Copies of this chain bind each other. A is one copy, B any other.
Amino acid sequence: MNTSAEQVHQQILAAQAAYEQARDVEPVIRASWLEAVASALAGAADELVGLGRRETNLDEGRLRFELHRSVFQLQLFSSEIIAGEHLGAVIDHADPQWGMGPRPDIRRMNIPLGVVGVFGASNFPFAFSVMGGDSASALASGCAVVHKIHEGHLQLALRTSAVVQEALAEAGAPHGLFSTVVGRQAAEALVDHPLTQAIGFTGSTSGGRALFDRASQRETPIPFYGELGSINPVFVTEEAWDSRRNAILSGYASSFTAGMGQFCTKPGLFFAPVQDAEDVGALLAQELQSVAVAPLLSPKLREGFDASLKNVRSLPGVEVLVQGDEAEAPRPTVLATTADAVMAAPEILEQEMFGPATLVIQYRPGTNLAQLASLLEGQLTATVHGEPDEDLHELMTVLRERAGRLVWNAWPTGVSVTYAQQHGGPYPATTASSTTSVGTAAIGRFMRPVAYDSFAPQQLPPALLDNNPWKITRRVDGIHEPAGQKAENL
């Protein structure tokens, strides 16, 4: 079943050829390919969700929503590239009065990088897998994709891939624009290949760092967009705790157990002014009773979860607040420690438990939350439950510097695909904190700018022509012009 290095080489050559054939197509054509893939995936929903049910222990509602999300993502990216947002077109007309001396005519646009390698994640068989965010954004940018399948849902991935390839072919996209490989040797061959121009990855910190190092140490280094580990702290202020403790605990219980705690945005740390640990434990236990449990995604993942839970439970100062169990479908566990213990040994904040477990950190009234927060590593998200008029500037500033998304009086699980979305964050949350793997800004990761200096109109690409034939959004002589209208002045 594993793809040989030679086969990977052949697929990359085919991907490069397809990229070269497709790199200059008009955005509306490329958008029609994304739409075709979206329709095909939606049309195959019953079959794909059925395969997912067999391989992943995820329930039908979750799988259907995740597939719907992936379909929507393709449609949103389609509209985004029709508007030309990804091209980042900028036109500076020649200006003899320019402040540093006469300015030639300079125009810039983004071009796709070429062949991109994408690694599927175990925990989202649709949204971060074969046609998940990385693949969709790479295709939207104009790149070709070679996707490394996550073997946790191999049959689903193979079938999804077939649906995607068939839809692309029917829509007229060149053969080879999207293909999949299997196995560790194939993964390494993909990162090493001279034609591979970038990698999108979602997975573990250790595996991701090893591949990041590999990509950085190539003769020609390539960008490695890796989403690694995150523990997603939640801070509850004293005021919020006093005014709505029960509602917050209820939301917490349901967020950390969503998807059996196997979300990269799972709230794994919960800082609260708990004074009545027994009460809180009882309340959480009650909330958790109604949580439906299922086996974890894979035996390997389960093994890792058990080990990390055991490790955190054994740390000095850590107690069990809600006892889970070790059944095949494990009941959730809530551990607890104190802010004092954390100040004494901050590494307790760096232990990710990927599964249904979380750690409550009890802080005493008057504790400086910003100081506690400053002990945190880089995170995908940081959440604050507080009252609107509290002065939380210091805490927010510390969290802002440690996370890619701040959440206010809500929960970090559930990441909408939008224009403003940011799913990223400082290392070790990701290896490229200035980029996002969710939302329309994800497309730009797989492009780079090229300037056209002093060009004759006959030699310019359409995106940079004065009359704007593609009607895309551009910045002209410093002023932003919206998409959808041709320039009037020419």
Question: A interface vs B, CB < 8 Å?
Answer: 23-24, 65, 68-69, 72-73, 75-76, 90-92, 98-101, 103-104, 106-108, 111, 114, 212-213, 216-217, 220-221, 223, 378, 384, 386, 388-389, 392, 396-397, 400-401, 403-410, 412, 416-422, 424, 426-428, 431, 433-434, 436, 441, 444, 447-459, 473, 475, 477-480, 482
Given A406-B450, A408-B454, do A473 and B478 touch, yes or no (CB 8 Å)?
no
Q: How far is the CA of A104 from the CA of B378 in the complex (A)?
A: 24
- Asked if residues A455 and B408 are in contact (CB atoms below 8 Å), the reply is yes
Q: Which one of B403, B412, B450 contacts A400 once the chains associate, using CB atoms below 8 Å?
A: B450
- Asked if residues B475 and A449 are in contact (CB atoms below 8 Å), the reply is no
- Asked if residues B451 and A405 are in contact (CB atoms below 8 Å), the reply is yes
Which 4 pairs across A and B sit closest by C-beta, in order of nearness?
A422-B451, A72-B100, A90-B420, A388-B456
Q: How far is the CB of A257 from chain B (nearest CB, A)?
A: 20
Q: Which one of B100, B107, B431, B444 contacts A420 once the chains associate, using CB atoms below 8 Å?
A: B107
Q: Which B-chain residue is minimally distant from A407 (CB atoms)?
A: B453
Q: How far is the CA of A453 from the CA of B380 in the complex (A)?
A: 13
- Asked if residues A458 and B416 are in contact (CB atoms below 8 Å), the reply is no
- Asked if residues B422 and A449 are in contact (CB atoms below 8 Å), the reply is yes
Q: How far is the CA of A478 from the CA of B417 in the complex (A)?
A: 13
Given A408-B452, A448-B433, A449-B424, do A98 and B388 touch, yes or no (CB 8 Å)?
no
| Beyond A386-B459, A441-B449, 5 extra complex contacts between A and B, CB < 8 Å | A72-B99, A92-B418, A104-B410, A404-B450, A421-B451
- Asked if residues A449 and B436 are in contact (CB atoms below 8 Å), the reply is yes
Q: Which B-chain residue is minimally distant from A430 (CB atoms)?
A: B448
Q: How far is the CA of A388 from the CA of B422 in the complex (A)?
A: 43
With a cutoff of 8 Å between Cβ atoms, the chain B residues found around residue A106 in the complex are 416, 418, 420-421
- Asked if residues A221 and B434 are in contact (CB atoms below 8 Å), the reply is no
Q: List 24 A-B contacts (CB under 8 A).
A: A68-B100, A69-B100, A72-B99, A73-B100, A75-B99, A90-B420, A92-B419, A92-B421, A108-B420, A212-B221, A220-B378, A396-B459, A406-B452, A408-B452, A408-B456, A410-B454, A419-B477, A420-B475, A422-B450, A422-B451, A426-B448, A434-B448, A473-B480, A480-B482
With a cutoff of 8 Å between Cβ atoms, the chain B residues found around residue A420 in the complex are 90-92, 106-108, 451, 475
With a cutoff of 8 Å between Cβ atoms, the chain B residues found around residue A482 in the complex are 479-480
With a cutoff of 8 Å between Cβ atoms, the chain B residues found around residue A90 in the complex are 419-420
- Asked if residues A406 and B453 are in contact (CB atoms below 8 Å), the reply is yes
Given A104-B416, A397-B24, A405-B451, do A221 and B431 touch, yes or no (CB 8 Å)?
yes
Q: How far is the CA of A400 from the CA of B455 in the complex (A)?
A: 13
Given A100-B416, A420-B90, A473-B480, do A449 and B410 touch, yes or no (CB 8 Å)?
no
With a cutoff of 8 Å between Cβ atoms, the chain B residues found around residue A480 in the complex are 473, 480, 482
Q: How far is the CA of A405 from the CA of B422 in the complex (A)?
A: 30
Q: How far is the CA of A403 from the CA of B453 in the complex (A)?
A: 12
- Asked if residues A458 and B100 are in contact (CB atoms below 8 Å), the reply is no
Q: Which B-chain residue is minimally distant from A396 (CB atoms)?
A: B459
With a cutoff of 8 Å between Cβ atoms, the chain B residues found around residue A451 in the complex are 404-406, 420-422
Q: Which one of B114, B217, B453 contacts A401 once the chains associate, using CB atoms below 8 Å?
A: B114
With a cutoff of 8 Å between Cβ atoms, the chain B residues found around residue A412 in the complex are 453
Q: How far is the CA of A216 from the CA of B214 in the complex (A)?
A: 11
With a cutoff of 8 Å between Cβ atoms, the chain B residues found around residue A76 in the complex are 99
Q: How far is the CA of A106 from the CA of B434 in the complex (A)?
A: 17
Q: Which B-chain residue is minimally distant from A216 (CB atoms)?
A: B216
Q: How far is the CB of A399 from chain B (nearest CB, A)?
A: 9
- Asked if residues B68 and A405 are in contact (CB atoms below 8 Å), the reply is no
With a cutoff of 8 Å between Cβ atoms, the chain B residues found around residue A98 in the complex are 416, 418
Q: How far is the CB of A149 from chain B (nearest CB, A)?
A: 24
Q: How far is the CA of A459 from the CA of B73 in the complex (A)?
A: 30
With a cutoff of 8 Å between Cβ atoms, the chain B residues found around residue A426 in the complex are 220, 448
- Asked if residues B449 and A434 are in contact (CB atoms below 8 Å), the reply is yes
Q: How far is the CB of A472 from chain B (nearest CB, A)?
A: 12
Q: How far is the CB of A387 from chain B (nearest CB, A)?
A: 9
- Asked if residues B404 and A449 are in contact (CB atoms below 8 Å), the reply is yes
- Asked if residues A388 and B459 are in contact (CB atoms below 8 Å), the reply is yes
- Asked if residues A220 and B427 are in contact (CB atoms below 8 Å), the reply is yes
